Amino acid sequence: MSSLFPALTEGRTDGRTDRPALRFGDRSLTYGELGAASGALAARIGGAGRVAVWATPALETAVAVVAALEASIAAVPLNPKSGEKELGHILADSAPTLVLAAPGDELPPPLRDLARIDVDVRATGPVPHGEASVDDAPALVVYTSGTTGPPKGAVIPRRAVAATLDALADAWQWTGDDVLVHGLPLFHVHGLVLGILGPLRRGGSVRHLGRFTTEGVARELNAGATMLFGVPTMYHRIAQTLPDDPELAKALGRARLLVSGSAALPVHDHERIAAATGRRVIERYGMTETLMNTSVRADGEPRAGTVGVPLPGVELRLVEEDGSPITSYDSETVGEIQVRGPNLFTEYLNRPDATAAFTADGWFRTGDMAVRDPDGYVRIVGRKATDLIKSGGYKIGAGEIENALLEHPGVREAAVTGEPDADLGERIVAWIVPADPESPPTVAELADHVANRLAPHKRPRVVHHLASLPRNDMGKIMKRALTRD
């Protein structure tokens, strides 16, 4: 059976074990060192059930996930900034038997009750023997928000990881010679699957910035990195910085590939970057549940405002309201994107009800609305659910924030919406009826409350106070009627 990371085992036979694999700041691992460290850890965790990974942007996270994959154990990456409610839910739902963390990392209370293994990136255990096989067994459980309720754990099989990374290799001409740079978080698909497992599957390397800065991007691209991955907020910040930063322009001009994803990159930012650097950013479209579905190809036309064409192996169709697939592309007829292929997740953990997201014949309903150009390029034009907000590339359900706000003593009623934001794409706006109109809670108070319960990126940036929320006859909040008063 083929292996997820051939480069880890091949290096031993062709003597290329000293090739760089991972670099985080001034700490790095070669393929030989990664094989030894992950092999040693895999041997220690073998036979465990699911393992949680305290997914800081550090070498330890990458070693932990590779080790879990080698040990054929599903890894559950945790946002180290998760608040108590979110963390409590994820732990109760995924029931890990162990947590893997960097030595010295302090873990919050719910995790202290779990057995902990410190990840030693310098360990020299038995190197893997190619056990990281490609099959239907779960590789990762990644938590993703829905419109209501707490986040759902998408169970991502090993074959989906392999299929999506190989399809991207085809579309992007991505090889072991590529050096990727990014500063994405490692508890989501974008940063972890594409940004860490991607280079490792190709036998190439990744330099992680720890946190995204335009200086870090310029430094690494000027020092030989060939590819940059980012969310639109990062490219927006690059576009804002370019006029005053010739080093950054030079660095981007050198890159082989600049890739944006997780949300739409506005055409204005595309154009500013192209004008300043001579390079075009290409967009790809994916989801936690589906991994990657489409991309502008490296050898294709980089058409701003589109997410390109279906990746090899991915079937994609647009379906109208009445369920009929759109058969001719006119750049105008809008339908829901449905996808089918080896890149799909298998289920939401403990949520058989949510598998209604699949049609009887295996198509996954993405909830994204799109048109297609006559040559097949996909243009995303919106989302079915207004209660899903994309802020900084993070998907955030309005319902989970509303529930958290309602747990604040100063809030009697709450509704949450997304408002256009030049930097974040959308910003989270809370509309509340204060318990005491004389002393309503401040925006800072509610932001802290949500950040501590859920996660900082879910905090409201704006809070409006209302005497009552607009409701229809059924008592349902009419979000479209919410306007600033």
CA distances from 214 to 182, 238, 248, 263, 275 (A): 10, 6, 7, 19, 17
Nearest to 355 by CA among 177, 53, 153, 185: 153
Torsion angle, alpha carbons of 85, 88, 90, 93, to 10: -120
Q: Which does 366 bind (CB under 5 to 8 A by kind): ligand AMP, ligand MCA, none?
A: ligand AMP
Q: For residues 104 and 320, what is the distance between their CA atoms, to the nearest angstrom? A: 53
- Whose tokens are 């958290």? That residue is 404
Q: For residues 99 and 119, what is the distance between their CA atoms, to the nearest angstrom? A: 10
Q: Which does 459 bind (CB under 5 to 8 A by kind): ligand MCA, ligand AMP, none?
A: ligand MCA
- Residues 449-468, interacting with ligand MCA (CB under 6 A): 451, 456-457, 459
In the complex, what is the shortest distance from the CB of residue 346 to ligand AMP, in angstroms, rounded to a whole number? 16
Stretch that binds ligand MCA, among 186-194, 220-228, 316-324, 357-365 (CB under 6 A): 186-194
In the complex, what is the shortest distance from the CB of residue 283 to ligand AMP, in angstroms, rounded to a whole number? 4
Residue 290: which residues within 8 A CB-CB, separation 6 or more? Answer: 339, 343, 344, 345, 364, 366
Q: Which is nearer to ligand MCA, 40 or 189 (CB)?
A: 189
In the complex, what is the shortest distance from the CB of residue 476 to ligand MCA, in angstroms, rounded to a whole number? 29
Q: Which is nearer to ligand AMP, 74 or 263 (CB)?
A: 263
Burial class (CB in 10 A: 0-12, 13-18, 19+), 197: buried
* Residue of closest CB approach to ligand AMP: 395
Q: For residues 188 and 11, what is the distance between their CA atoms, to the nearest angstrom? A: 28
Does 140 bind ligand MCA (CB under 6 A)? Our answer is: no
- Residues 236-265, interacting with ligand AMP (CB under 6 A): 261-264
**Residue selected from 285, 345, 358, 377 as contacting ligand AMP according to rule CB under 6 A:** 285
Does 231 bind ligand MCA (CB under 6 A)? Our answer is: yes
- Residues 40-99, interacting with ligand MCA (CB under 6 A): 81
**Residue selected from 65, 184, 339, 401 as contacting ligand MCA according to rule CB under 6 A:** 184
Secondary-structure breakdown of the chain: helix, strand, coil percentages, each rounded to the nearest 5: 30, 30, 40
Q: Tell me the H-state helices in 154-304.
A: 158-172, 189, 198-202, 214-222, 232-241, 246-254, 267-277
Q: Which is nearer to ligand MCA, 42 or 101 (CB)?
A: 101
Q: For residues 80 and 97, what is the distance between their CA atoms, to the nearest angstrom? A: 18
Region class of 254: left (phi > 0), else alpha (psi between -120 and 50), else beta: alpha
Does 3 bind ligand AMP (CB under 6 A)? Our answer is: no
Interface residues with ligand MCA (CB under 6 A)?
A: 81, 184-185, 188-191, 212, 231, 233-234, 261-262, 286-288, 392-394, 447-448, 451, 456-457, 459
Interface residues with ligand AMP (CB under 6 A)?
A: 144, 189, 261-264, 283, 285-288, 307, 366, 368, 380, 383, 390, 395
